[in-house]
């Protein structure tokens, strides 16, 4: 079960990437506004939907750069 | 109530018949000996990345979510969108913590959070606290799934008086109970795939077709009252709607994976790698949830609340009728059948997993720990089957005889209660530093404080915390779990000093927590 320890430790800084999405979506003053709107959708809505995608990409990056 | 929609009803019934067959046939899928608890209750831990994605997604994004989140947007506006940051921050937590829990549970054959806490902290009372919290928090959640089912059955035009009014719900539940009893977790796992295809199709058709019908997003958002479009800007000396929004999102995310049905879904995965992969793949559902929240605004723009044919539905189900009314208004009957079947089946999948999770907990951490210490494998699996029936029957009785609002209140309290298991489970996945008794006192403090704070604000989710002349409205669950952790951290050195000679053993070692 136990893999080589040095590989697992390498790249663990990548985990910090996961913090980015916490800051981006848990601070409403960043995005509680109408403009700039996109295809008629207020900023508040499309910003948070966009972060779903960015969050998934960040998590995928951490998945590929770290070992379990 | 409007007339029975025969086309939609026929498609709805046909799809239900199909998943009933599938639920029973699932007993033979990746065949295992269903007289073993881990085969019945965890599908033999055989599900790869693909099936796990459907199972965990089908488990977390429930029928009630699909009805209630748009209903909240319809009624209260922007605040409903907290569901989006909630799911965004849930997955990093999942990614960091749950592969570790999968590995340790796999190594030691743990089936529940109670098993893990028992092994990690060696205290059966702490394990009992985690177990009882899990079961109690799950019960109203199952009941709420029935609300989702009730709303779509009502929207199909089926109505009656007395017991006859509840007959369709009872039939759906008997079917659910029967296939869960016979096939265990394999049933919801296979049905989840059908459910997701239906729900995804519905969601994408809804967010593309309805805005075209209504003249674009610009027109839709123009129809939403300005006060509902954004969060209210906080006044002086308060963090107002901002802190409420952020703490609701974070607290809900922390609570999500502590629910027993989440862990059951995660532990049924065949490898830690499948769990990790899913943390990166599951946000696919969050996108759908965000899009569905917008459907609440579509319902405002379409003006369904003012249409006479839906007046009876709104009277009976309140804002929860917004989505069904919009679908009836916008879609041809055959597609209404598909959409409603998706929501209805979406109620059965989580309800099945929740009842299995509660049954696993009772069997392992109450019955085996305190009543019959040496059951045979067959007795253990049989016990879990019976408990799953009792749990579902309880939820059914509750929803038929008790006002829906009570289930909603209990589910709210359930969130506050379940988050109190965070220190032994989530922190426990990383450290054995905490003293087991300190954790137990922390848990009790969190439960009592959370329940009384919640009662003080008439069972609304946020509590206005006053501090240094400022007010910080925030999610009670998050405030009280912080209190819980602080209490446990302060008492740990105190208890360690007094009880050093009888510190219970940790049966896990560091290398159990990863590949």
Task: Show me where the domains of chain A are located.
Answer: 31-68
Do the domain assignments include residue B233? no
Banded pLDDT at A11 (limits 50, 70, 90): low
Assign B481 a pLDDT band (cuts: 50, 70, 90).
Answer: very high
Tell me the pLDDT band of B436, cut-offs 50, 70 and 90: very high
What phi and psi values does residue B474 have, to the nearest 5 degrees? -155, 165
Q: Report if residue B486 sits inside a domain.
A: no
Residue B96 with chain A: CB contacts under 8 Å: 15, 18
From chain B, the residues in CB contact with A16 under 8 A are none
Q: What is the per-residue pLDDT across B16-56, written as a single tens digit (0 to 9) for each?
A: 999 999 999 988 888 888 888 889 999 889 898 989 988 88
- The residue in chain B having the minimum alpha-carbon distance to the alpha carbon of residue A21 is B89
Residue A17 to chain B, least CA–CA distance (Å): 10
Confirm or reject contact between A35 and chain B (CB < 8 A): no
Q: State the DSSP H helix or E strand holding residue B471, giving kind and residue range, or none if neither.
A: strand B470-475
The CA-based angle B499-B504-B509, given to 5 degrees, is 135
Do you know the residue count of chain B? 515
Are B260 and B134 within 8 A, CB to CB? Answer: yes
Q: What is the pLDDT of residue B385?
A: 93
Q: Give the gyration radius of chain A's Cα atoms.
A: 17
Does the beta carbon of A48 lie under 8 angstroms from any beta carbon of chain B? yes
**Backbone region of residue B374 per phi and psi (left: phi > 0; alpha: psi in -120 to 50; beta: other values):** beta
Tokens representing B400 are 């038929």
Say if A33 is an interface residue toward chain B (CB within 8 Å). yes
For residue A39 the two structure tokens come to 């295809």
Give me the CATH number covering residue B60: 1.20.1730.10
Q: Give the residue from chain A lying closest to B222, CA to CA.
A: A40
Residue B133 located in a structural domain: yes
Residue B146 within any structural domain of the chain: yes
- To 10 degrees, the CA torsion angle through B418, B421, B427, B430? -100
Q: Touching check for A10 and chain B: CB below 8 Å?
A: no
The beta-carbon neighbor of A49 closest among B84, B242, B280 is B84
| Interface probe, candidates A7, A21, A26, A27, chain B, greatest B C-beta count within 10 A | A26
Q: Does A42 touch chain B (CB under 8 A)?
A: yes
Q: In this structure, what token pair is assigned to residue B144?
A: 């709420």
CB B220 within 8 A of CB B211: yes
Nearest-neighbour CA in chain A from B94: distance (Å): 10
Give Cβ neighbours of residue B454 (< 8 Å, ≥ 6 apart). Answer: B412, B413, B416, B460, B463, B476
Query: With the CA atoms of B249, B254, B259 and B260 taken in that order, what torsion angle do they form, in degrees rounded to the nearest 10?
Result: 150
Give the range of the structural domain holding residue B324, as residue numbers without chain letter. 6-214+245-412
Is B436 within the bounds of a domain? no
For residue B81, name the pLDDT band (cuts at 50, 70, 90). Answer: very high
Q: What is the pLDDT of residue B107?
A: 94
- Structural domain count of chain B: 1
* B504 inside domain: no
**Contact A20/B at CB under 8 A:** no
Q: What is the mean pLDDT of residues B124-150?
A: 92
A28–B294 CB contact, under 8 Å: no
Distance from CA of B54 to the nearest CA of A (A): 17
Least confident stretch, B182-186, B290-294, B354-358? B290-294
Q: Is pLDDT above 70 for B320?
A: yes
**B336 pLDDT higher than 70:** yes
Task: Give me the residue from B99, B231, B291 closest to A28, CB to CB.
Answer: B231
* Helix axes B167-183 and B186-214, enclosed angle (nearest 10): 140
Q: Is the pLDDT of residue B161 over 80?
A: no
pLDDT band, residue A41 (cuts 50/70/90): very high
* Helix H or strand E segment including B136: helix B124-155
Mean pLDDT, residues B107-113: 95
Which band of pLDDT confidence, cut at 50, 70 and 90, is reported for residue B250?
very high
> Which band of pLDDT confidence, cut at 50, 70 and 90, is reported for residue A6?
very low
User: Closest Cα of chain B to A36: distance in Å?
Assistant: 13
Give the minimum alpha-carbon distance from B223 to chain A in angstroms, rounded to a whole number.
12
**Tell me, what's the pLDDT at B503?**
62
Residue B96 and residue A34: Cα distance in Å, rounded? 34
Among A27, A39, A52, beta carbon nearest to B246: A27
Spatial separation of the C-alpha atoms in residues B500 and B452, rounded to whole Å: 34
In sign, the C-alpha dihedral spanning B189, B192, B193, B194 is positive
- Say whether pLDDT at A9 is over 60: no
């Amino acid at each position: 079960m136990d893999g080589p320890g040095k590989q697992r430790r390498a790249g663990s800084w990548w985990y910090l990437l996961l913090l980015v999405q916490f800051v981006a979506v848990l601070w409403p003053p960043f995005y509680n506004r109408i403009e700039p709107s996109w295809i008629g959708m207020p900023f508040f809505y499309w910003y948070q939907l966009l972060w779903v995608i960015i969050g998934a990409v960040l998590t995928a990056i951490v998945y590929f750069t770290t070992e379990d | 109530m409007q007339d029975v929609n025969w086309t939609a009803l026929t498609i709805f019934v046909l799809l239900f018949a199909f998943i009933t067959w599938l639920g029973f046939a699932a007993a033979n899928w990746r065949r295992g000996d269903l007289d073993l608890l881990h085969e019945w209750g965890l599908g033999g831990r055989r599900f790869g990345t693909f099936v796990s994605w459907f199972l965990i997604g089908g488990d977390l994004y429930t029928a009630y979510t699909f009805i209630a989140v748009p209903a909240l947007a319809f009624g209260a506006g922007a605040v409903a969108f907290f569901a989006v940051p909630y799911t965004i921050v849930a997955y990093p937590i999942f990614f960091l913590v749950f592969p570790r829990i999968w590995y340790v549970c796999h190594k030691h054959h743990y089936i529940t959070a109670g098993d893990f806490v028992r092994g990690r902290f060696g205290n059966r009372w702490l394990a009992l606290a985690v177990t009882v919290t899990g079961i109690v928090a799950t019960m109203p959640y199952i009941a709420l799934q029935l609300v989702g089912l009730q709303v779509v059955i009502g929207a199909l035009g089926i109505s009656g008086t007395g017991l006859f009014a509840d007959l369709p719900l009872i039939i759906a539940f008997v079917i659910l109970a029967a296939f869960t009893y016979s096939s265990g977790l394999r049933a919801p796992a296979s049905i989840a795939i059908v459910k997701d295809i239906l729900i995804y199709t519905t969601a994408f058709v809804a967010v593309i077709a309805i805005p075209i019908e209504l003249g674009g997003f610009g027109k839709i958002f123009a129809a939403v009252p300005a006060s509902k479009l954004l969060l209210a800007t906080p006044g002086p000396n308060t963090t107002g709607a901002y802190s409420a929004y952020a703490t609701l999102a974070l607290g809900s995310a922390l609570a999500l994976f502590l629910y027993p049905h989440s862990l059951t879904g995660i532990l049924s995965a065949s490898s830690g790698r499948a769990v990790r992969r899913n943390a990166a793949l599951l946000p696919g559902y969050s996108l759908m949830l965000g899009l569905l929240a917008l459907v609440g605004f579509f319902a405002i723009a379409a003006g369904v609340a003012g249409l006479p044919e839906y007046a009876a539905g709104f009277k009976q189900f309140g804002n929860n009728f917004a989505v069904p009314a919009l679908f009836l208004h916008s879609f041809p009957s055959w597609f209404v059948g598909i959409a409603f079947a998706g929501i209805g089946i979406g109620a059965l999948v989580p309800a099945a997993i929740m009842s299995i999770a509660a049954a696993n907990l009772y069997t392992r951490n109450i019955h085996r720990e305190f009543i019959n210490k040496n059951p045979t494998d067959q007795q253990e699996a049989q016990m879990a089957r019976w408990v799953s029936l009792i749990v579902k029957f309880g939820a059914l009785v509750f929803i038929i005889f008790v006002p829906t609002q009570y289930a909603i209140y209990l589910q709210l309290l359930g969130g506050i209660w379940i988050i109190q298991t965070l220190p032994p489970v989530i922190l426990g996945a990383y450290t054995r530093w905490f003293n087991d008794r300190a954790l137990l006192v922390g848990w009790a403090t969190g439960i009592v404080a959370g329940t009384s704070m919640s009662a003080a604000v008439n069972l609304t989710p946020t509590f206005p915390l006053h501090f240094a002349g400022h007010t910080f409205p925030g999610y009670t669950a998050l405030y009280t779990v912080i209190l819980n952790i602080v209490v446990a951290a302060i008492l740990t050195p105190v208890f360690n000093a007094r009880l050093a000679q009888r510190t219970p053993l940790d049966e896990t070692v560091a290398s159990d927590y990863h590949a």
